[in-house]
Structure 1
Amino acid sequence: MTTATHDATVLEQYDSRAQAYLASAVHASGADLERMAAVIGSRPHAVALDMGCGGGHVAFRMAGLVGKVVAYDLSAAMLETVAAEARKRGLDNIVTKRGAAEALPCPSGSFDVVATRYSAHHWGAFTDGLAQMRRVVKPDGLALFMDVVSPGVPLLDTWLQSLELLRDPSHVRNGTLAEWKAALASLGFAVGEVATYKLRLDFGAWIERMQTPDVHVAAIRSLQRRASAEVKDYFALEDDGSFTIDSALIVARPV
């Protein structure tokens, strides 16, 4: 699949769902978001990047900490939603810019802080997106990476990726923590703090947010019913299909 083809799939999935992601409780809050804010602290003169901003929750949280935030996303509809919400909240230091993660149209060393949350598993070229973040962060800058992570065990990994893809065909892959660390190190980041979390997904809200077709919902529920005890236990699978996954926050700095 070409990058352009994958980007078209992403847009097909997300252009019509901007309001759902703005309203999503999973995206609007979380211990990782609060930890991100604590790590950044007050930087009134800093310029920050929210890479793959989606509904804008990272940008909104950073806006009160830094001087300027660039909310960057492939979807124009997402960016329009973020801009409208920023105006509503009186956050006049958020600007939006459209493009793919792998082709960030900003000069090198543009940002004091770069962050991404729940976006990288959609990138057609994972390391290329991370490389762009490394390129645009200042030598003394800060980088934060937040995403769902794979348990790494082949059985559990296959189960997680399958459900993600059935729900959303723009899903590429949830990497393991080891893969994240290796990729960041290879691109010139020194990994510091790593915090891990358990994220419960309410099945109804999870499906509704993506407007998953009924045939795919049925397939997900079929897989869940036939899952092994090991899978059901690890993901804390509930009778209604709700389940719990791993997520992580990685703090890194350029070297």
Structure 2
Amino acid sequence: MGYDKQQATEEFIRWSESYDRCILQWLLFGPSHRALISRIRERFGDRPIRVLDAGCGTGQFGEKILKALPNAQVFGMDLVAEMLRGGARRWSSHRDTLMPVQGDSEHLPFADGSFDVVTCANSFHHYPDQQRAVTEMHRVLKPGGRLMLVDGFRDAPWGWFIYDVCVESIEGNVHHCSRSRMRDLFANAGFVETNQKVHRGPAPFLLTEGTARTASTLGRPHFKVSTPGVRQHSRA
């Protein structure tokens, strides 16, 4: 039986009350958030940028982006209203720079070319139609913008045991992409200059970064692989 959005919604409603206190905040979310912020800073420095954080949960990562990059404006989007309500204090304390949006990553409620960066941290395995989600993320990026996507790295034996055995036994038939499958998703969506980096540790993760296609990047090679040690928003 395939994993669907109803299952995802029910799971995250249950998780919303304990999300900010769960052990994954230390084990996986914290390290992956630091890696993403480091990449955003390397690419964009301190200049003003608009960021969409897809699958934002209670907005913890969005708040971290603002602390590290004070010239950023962040839209945190999640499918589940209960998750967004769990970050109510966070949203209200950053009213003009951190904005919650309830929406679906497979049907992003934003106009084409709205963002400099789209991030997706540790939620991608819950998306039933992963190709459509990546294609939508490409659509809402400005030409030359960046998608930075983190999910569990399941290609090595330890990662396979964690994500394909342990996580699936708890969360159901979710799907952590292999490194090669993730590259294919990015290429099919139109991304170029795709980079990948494996971060080792107790909960290994893969950071895949792609550049949104522009007229000047047509025909360029796609890949460079590195593997070291709650508001509604309508399309304009």
Task: Name the TM tier (shorter chain).
Answer: 0.7 to 0.9
1:12 aligns with 2:16: no
Structure 2-normalised TM-score? Answer: 0.77
In structure 1, the partner of 2:169 is: 166
In structure 2, the partner of 1:131 is: 135
What residue identity is the alignment partner of 1:188? G
1:178 aligns with 2:136: no
What residue identity is the alignment partner of 1:10? A
Larger-Rg structure: 1
CA contact (8 A) 1:71 1:95 kept: yes
Per-residue deviation, 1:58: 2.5
Find the partner of 2:81 among 76, 79, 82.
76
Structure 1-normalised TM-score? Answer: 0.72
Per-residue deviation, 1:27: 5.0
What residue identity is the alignment partner of 1:35? A
Equivalent-residue separation in structure 2 for 1:181 and 1:195 (angstroms): 12
**Superposed, which structure 2 residues align to 1:48-127 within 5 Å?**
48-64=51-67, 65=69, 66-87=71-92, 90=94, 92-127=96-131
Equivalent-residue separation in structure 2 for 1:93 and 1:165 (angstroms): 35
Equivalent-residue separation in structure 1 for 2:120 and 2:147 (angstroms): 9
Per-residue deviation, 1:83: 3.4
Equivalent-residue separation in structure 2 for 1:143 and 1:19 (angstroms): 29
In structure 2, the partner of 1:247 is: 205
In structure 1, the partner of 2:147 is: 143
Identify, as 1 or 2, the structure richer in helix: 1
Q: SS in structure 2 opposite 1:106?
A: coil
What residue identity is the alignment partner of 2:58? G
Equivalent-residue separation in structure 1 for 2:50 and 2:190 (angstroms): 21
CA contact (8 A) 2:29 2:122 kept: no
**Superposed, which structure 2 residues align to 1:9-48 within 5 Å?**
9-23=7-21, 24-30=25-31, 32-41=32-41, 42-48=45-51
Note the aligned Cα RMSD (angstroms): 2.5
Percent identical among aligned pairs is 21
The 4+ residue runs of structure 1 with deviation greater than 3 A are: 155-160
Per-residue deviation, 1:157: 4.6
Count residues with an aligned counterpart: 205
Q: SS in structure 2 opposite 1:101?
A: coil
Per-residue deviation, 1:156: 7.6
CA contact (8 A) 2:186 2:194 kept: no
What residue identity is the alignment partner of 2:190? G
Equivalent-residue separation in structure 2 for 1:51 and 1:59 (angstroms): 10
